[in-house]
Amino acid sequence: MHFETKAIHSGQKCDPSSGSAITPIHQNVSFQFESAEQASNRFSLDEFGQIYSRMGNPTVDHFEERMAALDDGVGAVALASGMTAVAYAVMNICKAGDNFVTSRNLYGGVSNLFMNIFKDYGIEARFVDHEDPENFRRAMDDKTKLFFGEVLPNPRLNVLPIEDIAKVAKDVGVPLIVDNTCATPALCRPIEHGADIVVYSATKYIGGHANAMAGVVVDSGNFDWSQNPDRFPMINQPDPSLHGIEWVKKFDKLAYLVKLRATMLRDFGGCLAPMNAYLMSQGLETLSLRMEKHCTNAKKVAEFLQNHPKVGHVIYPSLANDGTKELAEKQFGGDHYGALVGMDVKGGTVAGKKVVESLKMFYHVAHIGDVRSMAIHPASTTHSQIPSQERLKAGITDGYVRLCIGIEHPDDIIADLSQALDKI
Ligand SMILES: Cc1ncc(COP(=O)(O)O)c(C=O)c1O
């Protein structure tokens, strides 16, 4: 089936008890066991099935099946937020004393998690420029557990060369985990380009209506964890947290996801609420339509801003002349460059803040991926906790204004931006 069809039909089963054609919201905590044997088998993971809504729930399962189908993964685990997804994806295979290599172009919250929070727990993130994939190889050592990058980095938009980094990852025997929040599976299926694991803030475009938080981890099942058991002891050695279970031996291609659900999710508890899973599944049904409109609108906005006298330069993949445009076209399928547009307004912080305050139709919010157009000044908000040197290296200048272009009529979007720029 094609993407649009899968987005509507995958994972969909009529509810057996009511015949409901849409997966209902299973707003419950526990599930009745048929026998003591079944209960015991479910706890030991000798049988898959519902136990308790922290680890799984039919409405959440439905959303997970849909995400796995759209990304061509072997499965998915849905979580409470994108931050939970990123944190668990890393912590599932990294412990104190380990490190991982990551692109420095990341959403500010993820950057802070990697730079400061993980550090306090003994996990080191090594930041590199992803433009040269060999930087990942240079930064690694025998304690490196994974490579990480954002497919369409928020907010610099320097597209990640997935295939080239995946080649290095394969060569050195570590998995490549990518955050595909800003491109979404409608534009890019990273597994097709060689990524092993894909994470999402589904709070953004997947939900699409700014009404619920969610995160997802999708696994391709392609990474061979047993090729180097000494590098990945957490997933290969007997795990005392579940009767000495050996994840890879028992679950093969599903090992990473089963472990994530049975340890990270069970023990940290960042589960997705059934109501939010329902909203996410609904959002997915229109994802490709919305992304098409987001992309055509954003391109028009970028072209308008490019010639505006108050704007120093515009950051948008179609306008780049450093190979980003071609990379976006290869990975996102033709004339699609996403909904995020960055503009470096002349006049630094003062001018940047002025534009954001002067917008009338745009929402001034710390969010992206909604049907509405939105704007924010990252240097004083989302990226303010990043040291200014690091912030500038990530391309966030003082006058940078991040726009996330919605699906309104493009003339209305441009009219609002025009009047706000006139206020500087
Ligand atoms: C690329 C990216 N990853 C992860 C996150 C975190 O997601 P959430 O806000 O759902 O926790 C965000 C949030 O903006 C993001 O933009």
- 112-166 pLDDT per residue, tens: 999 999 999 999 999 999 999 999 999 999 999 999 999 999 888 999 999 999 9
- Domain at 288-422: CATH code: 3.90.1150.10
- 57-112 pLDDT per residue, tens: 999 999 999 999 999 999 999 999 999 999 999 999 999 999 999 999 999 899 99
- Look at ligand 1, atom 6, and give the residue with the nearest C-alpha: 82
Q: What is the pLDDT of residue 196?
A: 99
Q: What is the pLDDT of residue 11?
A: 87
Q: What is the pLDDT of residue 10?
A: 92
Q: Which atom of ligand 1 is nearest to the CA of 382?
A: 14
Ligand 1 centre from 250 Cα, in Å? 32
How far apart, in Å, do the first and last CA atoms of the chain sit? 50
User: What values do phi and psi take at 164, rounded to 5?
Assistant: -70, -40
- Using alpha carbons, list the distances in angstroms from residue 28 to 17, 52, 58, 91, 275: 15, 9, 10, 28, 11
Mean pLDDT over residues 209-216, rounded? 97
Q: Which of 107, 121, 206, 202 is nearest to 151 (CA)?
A: 107
Strands 176-179 and 144-150: parallel
Q: Which CATH class is domain 3-282?
A: alpha beta
- 160-202 pLDDT per residue, tens: 999 999 999 999 999 999 999 999 999 999 999 999 999 999 9
Ligand 1 centre from 308 Cα, in Å? 30
Q: What is the pLDDT of residue 279?
A: 98
Length of the chain measured in residues: 424
Ligand 1 centre from 227 Cα, in Å? 32
Place of tokens 């995958």: 10
Quote the tokens at residue 46.
């000798």
Q: What is the DSSP letter of 30?
A: B
Q: Are 255 and 225 in contact (CB under 8 A)?
A: yes
Ligand 1 centre from 82 Cα, in Å? 5
Q: How far apart are CA 303 and CA 297, in angstroms?
A: 10
Q: What is the pLDDT of residue 142?
A: 97
Q: How far apart are CA 56 and CA 31, in angstroms?
A: 10
The boundaries of every CATH 3.40.640.10 domain in the chain are 3-282
Confidence bin at 297 (pLDDT 50/70/90): very high
Q: How far apart are CA 362 and CA 93, in angstroms?
A: 41
Q: What is the pLDDT of residue 387?
A: 85
The boundaries of every CATH 3.90.1150.10 domain in the chain are 288-422
Q: Which atom of ligand 1 is nearest to the CA of 215?
A: 10
| pTM (two decimals) | 0.97
